[in-house]
């Protein structure tokens, strides 16, 4: 049981490049989310999904796209990277039923630098 797996762990991009951050979970969780973590700002929600085929915007969605074609995978796409997107990105997942009684699991993070 791997939990929430994020790849890559580290990435350096040039301004304007595109890339996809991968997130996969093997716990059959319906809910998945992407957060970015910046110093002094905690984690901010980028996008989230309540199930396959359903996504919605979080607090800071601009510059990011997501899709959820399967329950297991929730990739985050940067279409044209900007230095302001330099951050650490975390994927998280949780069972939908039972509300917050179910623990939210986090991946180990992807550290992204945009030059």
What residues make contact with another protein under the rule CB under 8 A? 4, 31-33, 35, 40-45, 48-50, 56, 58, 90, 92-94, 99-101, 103-104, 106-109
Least gap, CB of 77 to another protein (angstroms) = 19
Q: Are 113 and 11 in contact (CB under 8 A)?
A: yes
Q: How far is the CB of 59 from another protein (least distance, A)?
A: 8
* Residue whose C-alpha is closest to residue 45's, from 30, 66, 20: 66
CA distance 93 to 98: 14
Q: Which is nearer to another protein, 41 or 80 (CB)?
A: 41
Q: Which is nearer to another protein, 17 or 88 (CB)?
A: 88
Q: In the bound complex, what is the minimum distance in angstroms from residue 68's beta carbon to another protein?
A: 12
- How far apart are the C-alpha atoms of 40 and 4, rounded to whole Å? 25
Q: 10 vs 30, 48, 53, 81, CA distance in Å?
A: 27, 22, 28, 15
Q: Which is nearer to another protein, 35 or 64 (CB)?
A: 35
Instruction: Write down the residue that tokens 């074609």 correspond to.
Output: 69
For another protein, the closer CB: 87 or 93: 93
């Amino acid at each position: 049981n791997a939990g929430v797996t994020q790849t890559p762990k580290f990435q350096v991009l040039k301004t304007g490049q595109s890339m996809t951050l991968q997130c996969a979970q093997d716990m059959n969780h319906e809910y998945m989310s992407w957060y970015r973590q910046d110093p002094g700002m905690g984690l901010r929600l980028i996008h989230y999904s309540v199930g396959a085929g359903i996504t919605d915007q979080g607090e800071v969605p601009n510059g990011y796209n997501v899709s959820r074609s399967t329950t297991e995978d929730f990739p985050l796409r940067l279409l044209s990277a900007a230095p302001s997107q330099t951050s650490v990105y975390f994927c998280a997942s949780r069972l939908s039923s039972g509300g917050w009684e179910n623990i939210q699991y986090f991946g180990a993070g992807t550290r992204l630098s945009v030059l």
